[in-house]
């Protein structure tokens, strides 16, 4: 009996195999010959998920009953711009320790043990211009989880031993500031892009961290961690009415009356055009080329998105990747970004990493491509590829319920929902409307190689020497000066360099 079945299966699979190869003859030799059903997708609307809680706190609730999990994100408009002078690092330390320094009823150790036993994930933090408390747990534990979250938000304990430990970890990390050339590049990039005095560049130092006391944490917490600064995004296994009631309880009777957090200041100042070179003994140079950019609500935003995608944002379909990587084998990664800022213009940046000797040549390719972008219209094919990509990948913005809640929560927090409520609804149409002209216009307007601030981190001698096969030298690439940027002391951030000796 068994044997017979086996034979039949073998016979069937031969049949299938024969039919398959007959069909295979119809397979076209180019993919354009395939036809596809249209893709229908309408994005969810923020208004359908938006709830106003007591006191005007906005929450986005996106139920999803497929798994017994709930994901709660309490975001706050509280950022590092609120660090008092001399206490840089206070916001970030406060944010971290809300969930890691114990609460009114639990020591830090008890809290950690309980959350780990429930297999719940709880964390808090403040970074950039915002902060959050995030809790992901099994829905059966929702009661306990929310009461712990309430204590974490309203009554953190800030245990002294945890403050001391965290400070020690921060300083250990700080000591590695000059170890990795990528870290040096990132730090100097932001200094050059926004200026040393811009709020996001007031970096913590050993002395600023040392000066922070438990009282500072408590004062910062009481002043800013307030429901009036909250936006809440919840996705997962819950009933909307029930969750609304739970969230109202989460934010009720706040024990402190603090302040509404101000927006971060918008006064960035980009460095003067030139080449900024940090000497670091590694065999690969890291390069960032920067130009003044735009803010997110700029009318040129969509044209810039498409233009940048064609130039260097689109990975392997972009010009920078094609020339620097595929043609020349000069880098593993090469690309560009228009970092349209929320509260202040962000820079346009183009980046790559290449062996020391080929740094000048690869940089010259970027400059050529910036110029070509401004001088010549893009091809129909390039424009079409970029537009189709933005339009057809659009559904992925809403790939999961927690992504939807997070996206809408973030739009609420950064003011996009108030200013531009139809942003997502109109997104595809606005992309589709971009023409070759629009692309060239913004390229002309923003991509001016003469204004470029070029940061290079790597082996100075070899980079300046260049490559025997290519005549271009680093100093040919800017009309501005070559500025040697000294490394900074990791703990003080003061330049370690050969400045005039101090008189004794």
Partner 1 sequence: MTAIICKRSRLALWLVTLLSASVAFSQQVPVKEVHLANGMRLLMVERHDNPTIAGGWVAHVGSSNERPGITGIAHLFEHMMFKGTPTIGTKDYEKDQEIIAKQEEVREKMRQEEAHMREMWRHGKIKDLQDPNTFTPRYKELSAEFKKLVDAQRELLVKNEFDRIYTTAGASGMNAFTTDDLTGYFINVPANKLELWMWMESERLWHPVFREFYAERDVVLEERRMRYDSTPLGEASVAHLAMFWESSTYSWPTIGWPSDVMAISKAQADNFYSIYYSPQNITLILVGDFQSDDAEKMARRYFGRIPRGKKDPPDVVTLEVPQEVEKRMNAEVEANPQVDIYWHTVPYQHPDSYPLAVLAQLLSGRTGRLYKGLVLSNEVATETFAYQDSKKWAGLFNIGGEARDGKTPEDVEQGIYQELDKLKHELVPAEELQKIKNQYAAYEYRKLNSNFSILHQLINYDGEGDWREINYGGPKIQAVTAEDVQRVAQKYFTKINRAVGIYTRKPGTGTEEDPDLAGLTGDQKTAIKQLAAKLKQESDAGKLKQALEKMKGQAGQVPDEQKPFFQAYMKKIQARVTELGGKE
**Which residue from 130, 181, 244, 478 is in contact with partner 1, where contact means CB under 8 A?**
181
Closer to partner 1 at the Cβ: 47 or 498? 498
x/- mask, partner 1, residues 141-180, rule CB under 8 A, reads: ------------------------x--xx-xx--xx-xxx
Of 142-150, 194-202, 266-274, 320-328, the segment contacting partner 1 by CB under 8 A is: 320-328
Burial 312-331 (b: 16+ CB within 10 A, else e): bbbeeebbbbebbbeebebb
Site mask for partner 1 (CB under 8 A), range 331-370, x = bound: xxx-------------------xxx-x-------------
Q: Which is nearer to partner 1, 219 or 403 (CB)?
A: 403
Minimum CB–partner distance for residue 462 and partner 1 (Å): 10
Cβ atoms of residues 448 and 270 within 8 Å: no
> For residues 418 and 498, which CB has a smaller minimum distance to partner 1 in the complex?
498
Residue 267 or 368: the one with the smaller Cβ distance to partner 1 is 368
**Residue 471 in the binding site for partner 1 (CB under 8 A):** no
Q: Is 376 in the site for partner 1 (CB under 8 A)?
A: no
Total of chain residues touching partner 1, rule CB under 8 A: 100
Does residue 283 touch partner 1 according to CB under 8 A? yes
State the DSSP code for 309.
I
Rounded to whole angstroms, the Cα distance separating 461 from 282 reads 11
CA-to-CA distance for 401 and 466, rounded, in angstroms? 51
Rg (CA), the chain: 27
Q: Is position 48 an interface residue for partner 1 (rule: CB under 8 A)? A: no
Q: Which of residues 102-121 bind partner 1 (CB under 8 A)?
A: 109, 112-113, 116-119
List 52's β-bridge partners, or say none: 58
Closest approach, Cβ 342 to partner 1, in A, equals 24
Q: CA 456, CA 488: separation in Å to the nearest integer?
A: 15
**In this complex, which beta carbon is closest to partner 1, that of residue 267 or of residue 283?**
283
C-alpha 300, offset from chain centre? 21
- Phi, psi dihedrals of residue 342, rounded to the nearest 5°: -80, -50
CA pair distance 306, 310, nearest whole angstrom: 6
Report, in Å, the least distance between residue 104 CB and partner 1.
20
Q: Identify the three-state secondary structure at position 131.
A: strand
Q: Does 461 bind partner 1 (CB under 8 A)?
A: no
Positions in 49-108 near partner 1 (CB under 8 A): 66-69, 100
Which is closer to partner 1, CB of 71 or CB of 226? Answer: 71
> Does 317 help bind partner 1 (rule: CB under 8 A)?
yes
Q: How many CB atoms lie within 10 A of CB 283?
A: 10
Q: Quick one: tokens of 153?
A: 């938000």
Q: Which residue stretch of 218-226, 337-345, 378-386, 442-450 sits at the interface with partner 1 (rule: CB under 8 A)?
A: 378-386
Please tell me the distance from the alpha carbon of residue 289 to that of residue 347, in angstroms, as a whole number. 10
Within 295-314, which residues bind partner 1 (CB under 8 A)? 314
Q: Which of positions 15-34 make contact with partner 1 (CB under 8 A)?
A: 16-17, 20-21, 23-24, 27-31, 34
Calpha distance 352→366 (Å, rounded)? 10
Counting every residue, how long is the chain?
504
Burial 342-356 (b: 16+ CB within 10 A, else e): bbbbbbbbbbbbbbb
Q: Which stretch binds partner 1 (CB under 8 A): 248-256, 365-373, 393-401, 440-448?
A: 393-401
Q: Toward partner 1, which CB reaches closer, 147 or 385?
A: 385
Q: How far is the CB of 450 from partner 1 (least distance, A)?
A: 29
Nearest to 342 by CA among 245, 265, 433: 265
Q: Does 432 bind partner 1 (CB under 8 A)?
A: no
Give the CA-trace dihedral at 311, 312, 316, 319, to 10 degrees. 40
Closer residue to partner 1 in complex, CB, 151/382? 382
Helix (H) or strand (E) holding 63: strand 58-63
| Chain centroid to CA 127 | 11
Least Å distance between CB 504 and partner 1?
6
Q: DSSP letter for 342, please.
A: S
Q: Which of 3, 5, 8, 39 binds partner 1 (CB under 8 A)?
A: 39
């Amino acid at each position: 009996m068994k044997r017979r079945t086996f034979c039949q299966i073998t016979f069937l699979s031969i049949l299938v195999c024969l039919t398959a190869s007959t069909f295979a003859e119809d397979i076209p030799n180019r993919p354009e010959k395939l036809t596809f059903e249209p893709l229908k997708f309408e994005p969810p609307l923020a208004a359908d998920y938006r709830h106003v809680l007591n006191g005007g706190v906005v929450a986005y609730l996106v139920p999803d009953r497929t798994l017994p999990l709930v994901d709660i994100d309490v975001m706050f408009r509280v950022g590092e711009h609120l660090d008092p002078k001399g206490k840089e690092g206070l916001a970030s330390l406060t944010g971290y320790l809300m969930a890691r320094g114990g609460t009114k009823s639990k020591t830090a150790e008890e809290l950690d043990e309980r959350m780990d036993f429930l297999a719940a994930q709880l964390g808090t933090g403040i970074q950039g211009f915002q902060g959050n408390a995030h809790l992901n747990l099994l829905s059966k534990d929702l009661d306990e989880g929310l009461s712990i979250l309430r204590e974490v938000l309203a009554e953190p304990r800030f245990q002294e031993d945890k403050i001391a430990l965290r400070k020690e970890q921060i300083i250990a990390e700080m000591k590695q500031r000059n170890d990795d050339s990528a870290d040096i590049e990132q730090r100097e990039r932001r200094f050059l892009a926004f200026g040393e005095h811009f709020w996001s560049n007031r970096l913590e130092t050993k002395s600023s961290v040392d000066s922070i006391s438990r009282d500072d944490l408590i004062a910062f917490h009481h002043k800013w961690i307030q429901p009036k600064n909250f936006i809440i995004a919840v996705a997962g296994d819950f009933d909307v009415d029930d969750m609304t009631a739970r969230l109202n309880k989460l934010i009720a009777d706040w024990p402190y009356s603090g302040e509404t957090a101000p927006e971060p200041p918008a006064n960035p100042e980009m460095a003067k055009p030139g080449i900024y070179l940090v000497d670091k003994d590694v065999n690969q140079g890291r390069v960032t080329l920067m130009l003044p950019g735009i803010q997110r609500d700029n009318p040129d935003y969509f044209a810039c998105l498409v233009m940048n995608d064609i130039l260097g944002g689109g990975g392997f379909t972009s010009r920078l990747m094609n020339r620097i990587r595929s043609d020349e084998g000069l880098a593993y990664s090469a690309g560009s970004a228009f970092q349209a800022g929320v509260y202040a213009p962000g820079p346009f940046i183009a980046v790559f990493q290449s062996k020391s000797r080929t740094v000048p040549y690869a940089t010259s390719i970027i400059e050529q491509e910036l110029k070509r972008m401004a001088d010549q219209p893009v091809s129909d094919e390039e424009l079409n590829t970029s537009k189709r990509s933005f339009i057809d990948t659009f559904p992925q913005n809403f790939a999961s319920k927690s992504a939807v809640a997070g996206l809408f929560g973030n739009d609420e927090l950064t003011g996009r929902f108030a200013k531009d409520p139809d942003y997502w609804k109109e997104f595809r149409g606005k992309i589709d409307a971009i023409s070759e002209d629009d692309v060239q216009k913004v390229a002309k307007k923003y991509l001016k190689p003469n204004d470029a601030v070029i940061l290079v981190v790597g082996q100075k001698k070899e980079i300046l020497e260049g490559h025997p096969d290519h005549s271009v030298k680093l100093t040919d690439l800017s009309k501005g000066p070559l500025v040697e940027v000294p490394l900074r002391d990791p703990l003080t951030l003061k330049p370690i360099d050969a400045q005039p000796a101090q008189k004794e």
